[in-house]
């Protein structure tokens, strides 16, 4: 265990002005608070926060962050309180410890939704003080280093969660050293066979090629010394997980990888970076298509370097990264290094494209963008999906006609580009020009494309765009627009129902009157209350009661019947509102069952005929189990007002006078429509009839209302949905 004075000396070596008293007090307080607590390995628990502090000291972080690392588990795992931490160490450290404690508490609840909420909390705390993230990542890294002491199931879960969230998050914040170590540890746990195969192959390569890294280092240094350039060269071998990821991405075998070695060239100035590049390309042949300039166009995590691949000694392909010392620090330690160098002229110019004085880094801009998505009301599950999309992607860089640079994930479309500019631009996008030419919105963008978005105020983003978009921001915005359209539709339906009810009482509908009744209904505003009526979550009679009007329950049925008689606007019912199919694809419903909004649906492709829509419970789907290529995952879109959908039901009727009239009466009162009816007398049984009806209804709730009404009739002994 590291001694108290050793930690203080480690911090004061890089920060002579560090508050030694603060560090000493935090060390003693945490050690006493954790007392005799033990970790699963059997060692003293205090060793964990001490090692977290050591990791952060290696990153050369400030004394407040080191103190917060020592204290980060005290509130969660001991009798200490946030108030006590604030009294003894000040509000700054108390806020850091509190942010970490709230995150940690969530690890004790259930998984996916909680993992999403955990990430929300972390990012919100980060947005206030990024040091919360640094302590959290150091905490996770030390836990990974000691993961062999936990049970196998827990070990696998922690490793997978790290691969999903924390390692890519460290990468997006520029902390490459932390990310590399996290990924290698998790790779050994999650895929031990692949890790061993790669390590064995690297060992054989060492034996066959000798000290090739030192040989190439010397050759490079000679190139630079002969031309008078002051440079340092560091050779390294790619890490096992990096090799594995490249094999998967490019579909290569281990023997096909030719650039296992990489070299970093560290120079004094920006100009020297480009001089070094020219010297290498004159000395050795460059591999075409392998040059990237991340100095003029930095990555979103502030990474800046020149990348090239050359054919070096022994005809080996060698990857080169050329950067200054400051670039190297930021490339290795990301936001942890940014604070040390943000005031230098080089960083200001490189980060902002020579816009002097702009202090916000690319990593912080990404975080701010993620906060915008978080605050716009997505569910935790959607937020986790969108964040993962943001964490995992290669990039393409495109430009607006005015020269603004937009970074997007590889495979992005003009839809993503429009939403990256602004949500309102995406929502109103109707077309685009790529490099001056009109192009479809589904076009995949390439590096350097100039994209102009064509807009119309009358446009509403179609739900099908969600399947086309690649970025979390675009997907989130399209979903919000879809939800808003559905809400608007239901609100319109609810307004019509309430209007009809008021007319029966010789009263006129008024938004102001409805708004006054909203507090008594438990909704935020009039539109929410009306949408609840349209969905069926709230009865129209409840609105009237809130207005102080005496009504009977038959009024709502009357309003629904009148609404059902209203003809939809031209073109409203011609299209089936589903998402997940290409524009122009022919659609039809499975005739034996039908399908209605609210039911889970899938599509089956029939060549030459289009797609047939089935409810997920349809027995007919079993015949397609061996043909997964024909299955299409569908979801309901926004239906036009008054649009109906088919649903086939089966009834068992008592053979008595008026039985059929009871059935048609219920369907008529509930606003349903009979499209087809088949009545069959049971063979050898004179007391009962089988009746199959193809109904036209608005949605699943409407269908259930009709079914419940039928079941209540004495002549109906059974009412079920036909499963086909």
Residue 629's φ and ψ, nearest 5 degrees, are -70, -15
pLDDT band at 46 (very low <50, low <70, confident <90, very high): very high
**Percent of the chain scoring above 70 in pLDDT:** 79
Beta-bridge mates of residue 395:
409
Beta strands in 325-465 (DSSP E): 395-399, 405-409, 429-434, 437-439, 451-455
Q: What is the pLDDT of residue 567?
A: 44
SS3 of residue 647 by DSSP: strand
CA distances from 431 to 425, 426, 445 (A): 11, 10, 14
CATH code for the part of the protein at 4-193: 1.10.3210.10
CA distance 282 to 431: 45
CA distance 181 to 177: 6
Neighbours of 571 (CB within 10 A): 8
Query: Nearest Cα to 546, choosing from 492, 498, 508?
Result: 498
**Per-residue b or e along 644-669, where b marks 16 or more CB atoms closer than 10 Å to that residue's CB:** bbbbbbebebeeeeebbebbeebbeb
DSSP conformational letter for 44:
B
Question: Taking the CA of residue 196 as centre, how many other CA atoms within 13 Å lie in the half-sphere pointing to its CB?
Answer: 5
Provide the residue count of the chain: 724
Q: Are 435 and 401 in contact (CB under 8 A)?
A: no
Q: Looking at residues 685-700, what average pLDDT do you find?
A: 85
Highest mean pLDDT among 167-171, 205-209, 452-456, 509-513: 452-456
pLDDT band at 119 (very low <50, low <70, confident <90, very high): low
Residue 551 has pLDDT above 70, yes or no: no
Residue of higher predicted confidence among 627 and 229: 229
Q: What is the pLDDT of residue 724?
A: 78
Q: Are 533 and 540 in contact (CB under 8 A)?
A: yes
pLDDT band at 68 (very low <50, low <70, confident <90, very high): very high
Domain boundaries, the chain: 4-193, 195-352, 479-565, 645-721
pLDDT band at 470 (very low <50, low <70, confident <90, very high): confident
Query: Among residues 15, 58, 77, 690, which one is catalytic?
Result: 77
Q: Are 67 and 89 in contact (CB under 8 A)?
A: yes
Residue 662 has pLDDT above 80, yes or no: yes
Residue 342 has pLDDT above 50, yes or no: no
Q: Which residue has the tokens 């009871």?
A: 662
Q: What is the pLDDT of residue 488?
A: 78
Query: Among residues 15, 58, 62, 76, which one is catalytic?
Result: 76
Residue 452 has pLDDT above 90, yes or no: yes
Query: Nearest Cα to 721, choosing from 621, 651, 645, 635?
Result: 651
Averaged pLDDT of the chain: 79
Residue of higher predicted confidence among 306 and 576: 306
Q: Are 676 and 691 in contact (CB under 8 A)?
A: no
Q: Looking at residues 171-199, what average pLDDT do you find?
A: 88
CA distance 346 to 336: 17
Q: What is the pLDDT of residue 133?
A: 82
pLDDT band at 177 (very low <50, low <70, confident <90, very high): confident
pLDDT band at 106 (very low <50, low <70, confident <90, very high): very low
Beta-bridge mates of residue 681:
689
β-pairing, 429-434 with 610-615?
unpaired
Our answer to whether residue 302 is catalytic in this structure is no
Beta strands in 392-491 (DSSP E): 395-399, 405-409, 429-434, 437-439, 451-455
Q: Are 537 and 580 in contact (CB under 8 A)?
A: no
Query: Nearest Cα to 67, choosing from 22, 33, 98?
Result: 22
Which one of 3.10.28.10, 3.30.460.10, 2.60.40.420, 3.40.440.10 gives the CATH number of domain 195-352? 3.30.460.10
Our answer to whether residue 58 is catalytic in this structure is no
CATH code for the part of the protein at 645-721: 3.30.70.260
**pLDDT one-digit tens code per residue, 240-278:** 888 888 777 767 666 666 567 789 999 999 999 999 999
Residue 525 has pLDDT above 90, yes or no: no
Task: Return the ∠ at Cα 328 (arms to 324 and 334), rounded to 5°.
Answer: 135
Residue 172 has pLDDT above 60, yes or no: yes
Q: What is the pLDDT of residue 197?
A: 87
Neighbours of 618 (CB within 10 A): 22
Residue 462 has pLDDT above 70, yes or no: yes
**pLDDT one-digit tens code per residue, 600-636:** 898 888 866 778 999 988 999 888 877 766 777 788 8
Neighbours of 437 (CB within 10 A): 7
Query: Nearest Cα to 632, choosing from 687, 684, 584, 587?
Result: 587
pLDDT band at 70 (very low <50, low <70, confident <90, very high): very high
CA distance 179 to 163: 9
pLDDT band at 340 (very low <50, low <70, confident <90, very high): very low
């Amino acid at each position: 265990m590291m001694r108290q004075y050793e930690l203080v000396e480690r911090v004061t070596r890089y920060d002579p002005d560090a508050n030694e008293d603060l560090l000493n007090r935090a060390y003693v307080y945490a050690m006493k608070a954790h007392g005799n607590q033990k970790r699963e390995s059997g060692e003293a628990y205090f060793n964990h926060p001490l090692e977290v502090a050591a990791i952060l000291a290696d990153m050369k972080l400030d004394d407040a962050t080191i103190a917060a690392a020592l204290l980060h588990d005290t509130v969660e795992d001991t009798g200490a309180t946030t108030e006590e931490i604030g009294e003894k160490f000040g509000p700054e450290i108390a806020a850091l410890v509190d942010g970490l404690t709230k995150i940690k508490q969530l690890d004790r609840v259930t998984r996916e939704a909680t993992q999403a909420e955990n990430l929300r909390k972390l990012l919100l705390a980060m947005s206030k003080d990024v040091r919360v993230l640094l302590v959290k990542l150091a905490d996770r890294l030390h836990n990974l280093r000691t993961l062999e002491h936990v049970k196998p199931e827990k070990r696998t879960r922690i490793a997978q969660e790290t691969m999903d969230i924390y390692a890519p998050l460290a990468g997006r914040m520029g902390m490459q050293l932390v990310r590399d170590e996290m990924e290698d540890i998790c790779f050994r746990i999650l895929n031990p066979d692949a890790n061993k195969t790669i390590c064995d192959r690297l060992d054989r390569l060492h034996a066959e090629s000798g000290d090739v890294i030192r040989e190439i280092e010397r050759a490079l240094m000679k190139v630079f010394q002969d031309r008078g350039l002051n440079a340092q060269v560091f050779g390294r071998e790619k890490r096992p997980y990096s090799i594995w990821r490249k094999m998967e991405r490019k579909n290569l075998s281990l023997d096909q990888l030719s650039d296992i070695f990489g070299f970093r060239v560290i120079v004094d100035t920006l100009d020297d970076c480009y001089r070094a590049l020219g010297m290498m390309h004159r000395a050795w042949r460059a591999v075409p298509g392998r040059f990237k300039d991340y100095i003029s166009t930095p990555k979103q995590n502030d990474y800046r370097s020149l990348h090239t691949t050359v054919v070096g000694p022994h005809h080996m392909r060698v990857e080169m990264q050329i950067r200054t010392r400051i670039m190297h620090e930021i490339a290795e330690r990301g936001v942890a290094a940014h604070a040390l160098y943000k005031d230098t002229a080089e960083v200001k110019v490189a980060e902002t494209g020579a816009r002097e004085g702009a202090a916000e880094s690319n990593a912080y801009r990404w975080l701010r963008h993620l906060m915008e998505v978080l605050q716009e009301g997505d569910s935790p599950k959607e937020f986790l999906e969108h964040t993962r999309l943001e964490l995992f992607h290669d990039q393409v860089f495109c430009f607006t006609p005015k020269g603004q640079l937009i970074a997007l994930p590889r495979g992005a479309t003009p839809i993503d580009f429009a939403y990256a500019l602004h949500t309102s631009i995406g929502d109103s996008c109707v077309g685009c020009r790529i490099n001056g030419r009109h192009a479809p919105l589904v076009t995949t963008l390439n590096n350097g494309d100039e994209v102009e978005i064509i807009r119309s105020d009358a446009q509403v983003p179609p739900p099908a765009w969600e399947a086309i978009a690649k970025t979390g921001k675009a997907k989130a915005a399209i979903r919000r627009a879809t939800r808003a359209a559905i809400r608007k539709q239901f609100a319109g339906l609810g307004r019509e129902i309430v209007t009809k009810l008021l007319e029966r009482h010789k009263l006129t509908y008024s938004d102001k009157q409805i708004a006054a009744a909203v507090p008594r209904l438990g909704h935020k505003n009039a539109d929410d209350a009306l949408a609840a009526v349209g969905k069926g979550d709230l009865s129209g009679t409840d609105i009237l009661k809130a207005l102080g009007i005496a009504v009977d329950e038959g009024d709502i049925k009357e309003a629904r019947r009148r609404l059902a008689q209203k003809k939809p606007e031209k073109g409203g019912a011609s299209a089936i509102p589903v998402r997940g199919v290409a524009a122009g694809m022919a659609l039809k419903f499975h005739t034996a069952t039908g399908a209605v909004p609210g039911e889970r649906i899938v599509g089956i492709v029939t060549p030459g005929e289009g797609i047939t829509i089935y409810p997920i419970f349809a027995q007919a789907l079993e015949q397609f189990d061996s043909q997964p290529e024909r299955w299409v995952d569908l979801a309901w879109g926004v239906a036009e007002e008054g649009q109906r959908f088919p649903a086939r039901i089966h009834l068992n009727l008592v053979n008595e006078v008026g039985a059929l009239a009871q059935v048609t009466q219920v369907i008529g009162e509930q606003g349903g429509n009979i499209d087809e009816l088949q009545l069959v007398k049971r063979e050898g049984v004179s007391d009962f009839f089988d009746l199959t009806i193809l109904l036209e209804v608005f949605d699943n709730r409407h269908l259930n209302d009709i079914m419940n009404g039928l079941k209540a009739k004495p002549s109906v002994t059974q009412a079920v949905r036909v499963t086909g």
